[in-house]
Structure 1
Amino acid sequence: MPNKTGNKTGQVLKSASSGADGLFMPNKTGQVLIFRSSSKWKSHFQSSKQTNKLMVIHFTAAWCGPCRTMEPIIRDFAAKYVAVEFIQIDVDELEAVAREYAVQALPAFILIKKGKAVDKVVGADKAALQKKIEIYMA
């Protein structure tokens, strides 16, 4: 039976003004933040530097098949690794952010701690990404 949002997955997406603020946030169990606004991203990134929490940025694009393959895996990781912050950024929407992290192939995953990139995974490699998350989340 569909929940009040009409989906059957149990994942509730909230969006103020239908995404006009540039940020979509699923419920607390398995959070993936999707940034569509450069200013919202910059603000969030600045505040994240104050924590020791691992941030995993999933660089993606609507036209990228392997990126879409990784989306449910990232949602599963977000549910499993609740102490890790998962971010999704579309390279076509936030090109400057993709350039800043030298993203040249998709999907790309940049692991960040205290505002510094500590590692990356390029390609739809679930096992490699999981291994690096487990290394850096401590």
Structure 2
Amino acid sequence: MGLQQSADSGVEPSREDVDQLEGPTVIEFGAPWCGYCMAARPLIDQALAKHSNVRHLRIEDGPGRRLGRSFRVKLWPTLVFLRQGVEVERLVRPSDSSTIEGALARIDGVA
């Protein structure tokens, strides 16, 4: 499957593709113009730097975007943490890297 570190290419993966992902994955739903998303970006990057084997998919969300609707995303950014394609945790508008780091550790198995 062609899902790698980012889905910024504009091609949104299907929910079926996401549900079949192996290993730890975090999906970041947001929009490039969203102020909350821009504020969270350095926090997310800082936390992800410690988890190089976690797949990170950044998905631009909005009206008509099926993947975000399938996860019932209401606010941005929303981080959905998956292990073997199953949601383990979710953070909405995270405000510190330690919270993100904790969720990543739970799906990655790295403390």
Q: Tell me whether the two structures share a fold, i.e. TM-score over 0.5.
A: yes
Q: Of residues 37, 44, 53 in structure 2, which corresponds to 1:74?
A: 44
Cα distance in 1 for partners of 2:35, 2:84 equals 31
1:33 maps onto 2:10 in alignment: no
Asked whether the equivalents of residues 32 and 60 of structure 2 are also in contact (C-alpha less than 8 Å), the reply is: yes
Unmatched segments (≥5 aa) in structure 1: 1-22, 26-31
Bigger RCO (CA 8 Å, 6+ sep) = 2
TM-score (norm 2): 0.77
Cα displacement (A) at 1:131 = 0.9
> Percent identity of the aligned residues?
20
1:133 maps onto 2:104 in alignment: yes
Describe the SS at the equivalent of 1:129.
helix
Q: Which amino acid aligns with 1:70?
A: A
Asked whether the equivalents of residues 78 and 91 of structure 2 are also in contact (C-alpha less than 8 Å), the reply is: yes
Deviations 1:8-36 (CA, angstroms, capped at 9, x unpaired): xxxxxxxxxxxxxxx8x7xxxxxx41242
Residues paired across the two proteins, number: 104
Point out the structure with max Rg over C-alpha. 1
Asked whether the equivalents of residues 47 and 98 of structure 2 are also in contact (C-alpha less than 8 Å), the reply is: no
1:45 maps onto 2:15 in alignment: no
Cα displacement (A) at 1:71 = 2.1
Describe the SS at the equivalent of 1:80.
coil
Describe the SS at the equivalent of 2:58.
strand
> Which residue number in structure 2 is paired with residue 110 of structure 1?
80
Cα displacement (A) at 1:94 = 6.6
- The alignment yields a C-alpha RMSD, in angstroms, of 2.4
